[in-house]
């Protein structure tokens, strides 16, 4: 059993409460937002089609709205990624999670991947300035699919591109079968070794327990993407 290193409020403030399934209903988005307010999560992370609703529901709360770009494959054209990022910001997003060109990372085409990410980061930030908001940009490198030796280099590319966070995974890549993966202590440790304190680290993909949440934070994660946020916080309350 993990020690009580965090209060429920402190741990919730490190979580992006996430609902990215393709069949998420309006009622589910509403429930997500209301629970995020009640528990004090850092943000809700929703698909671009749900940003306007989430923005309206959270307008009077400190909970941020996060959305995803080129999700979950990362295989969109650069111009499409830039447009999608700008659109999310103009619709109300405070934070953007971009999926990097995974195939480009695996093949070692690092210069092209960095150039694309820099363009998307710049587009999101420009839209933020025009909207009067500072935008946080996270880049998903999909550690579930990357060879371990590529993870540090991919992480350094994210830093060079000007993003604020390296994020482990979409949670949709399941190379080991029907089990979400990507948010592992090993992956977070590799990212941390590469970036130090230069950027934040968001662990996401298969985080379903308090024990795993604490282990990932100990390894270096500064944000957690979770769909089981309420369950995890209630687990903390029951044991501490």
- Residue where the block lists tokens 């999101």: 124
202 noted as active-site residue: yes
Handedness of CA 231, 217, 44, 170 (dihedral sign): negative
Choosing from 94, 97, 101, 164, the catalytic residue is 97
Task: Show Cβ contacts of residue 165 under 8 Å, excluding neighbours closer than 6 positions.
Answer: 136, 137, 138, 139, 158, 199, 200, 201, 202, 222, 223
Task: Show Cβ contacts of residue 28 under 8 Å, excluding neighbours closer than 6 positions.
Answer: 19
Reduced to 3 states (helix: H, G, I; strand: E, B; else coil), residue 194 is helix
16 noted as active-site residue: no
Q: Which of 220, 106, 83 is nearest to 157 (CA)?
A: 106
Q: What is the dihedral of CA 201, 158, 163, 218, to 10 degrees?
A: 10
38 noted as active-site residue: no
Q: What is the dihedral of CA 169, 42, 55, 167, to 10 degrees?
A: -20
Choosing from 64, 81, 138, 167, the catalytic residue is 167
Alpha helix ranges (H) inside the chain: 8-12, 26-39, 51-57, 78-91, 102-107, 110-131, 151-160, 185-195, 210-219, 229-239
Choosing from 64, 81, 192, 202, the catalytic residue is 202
Integer Cα distance of 123 and 119 in angstroms: 6
Q: Which residues are catalytic?
A: 97, 167, 202
């Amino acid at each position: 059993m993990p020690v009580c290193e965090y209060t429920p409020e402190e741990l919730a403030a490190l979580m992006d409460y996430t609902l990215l399934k393709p069949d998420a209903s309006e009622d589910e988005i509403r429930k997500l937002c209301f629970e995020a307010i009640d528990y004090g999560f850092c943000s809700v992370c929703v698909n671009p089609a749900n940003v306007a609703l989430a923005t309206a529901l959270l307008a009077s709360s400190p909970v941020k709205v996060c959305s995803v770009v080129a999700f979950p494959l990362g295989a969109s054209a650069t111009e499409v990624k830039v447009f999608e990022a700008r659109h999310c910001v103009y619709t109300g997003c405070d934070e953007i999670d971009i999926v990097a060109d995974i195939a480009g990372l695996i093949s070692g085409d690092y210069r092209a991947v960095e150039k694309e990410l820099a363009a998307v980061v710049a587009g999101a930030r420009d839209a933020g300035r025009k909207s009067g908001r500072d935008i946080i940009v996270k880049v998903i490198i999909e550690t579930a699919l990357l060879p371990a030796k590529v993870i540090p280099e991919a992480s350094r590319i994210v830093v060079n591109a000007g993003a604020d966070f390296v994020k482990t995974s979409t949670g949709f890549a399941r190379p080991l079968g029907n089990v979400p993966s990507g948010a592992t202590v090993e992956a977070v440790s590799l990212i941390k070794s590469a970036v130090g304190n230069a950027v934040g680290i968001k662990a996401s993909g298969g985080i379903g327990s308090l024990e795993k949440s604490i282990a990932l934070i100990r390894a270096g994660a500064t944000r957690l993407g979770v769909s089981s946020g309420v369950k995890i916080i209630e687990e903390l309350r029951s044991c501490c």
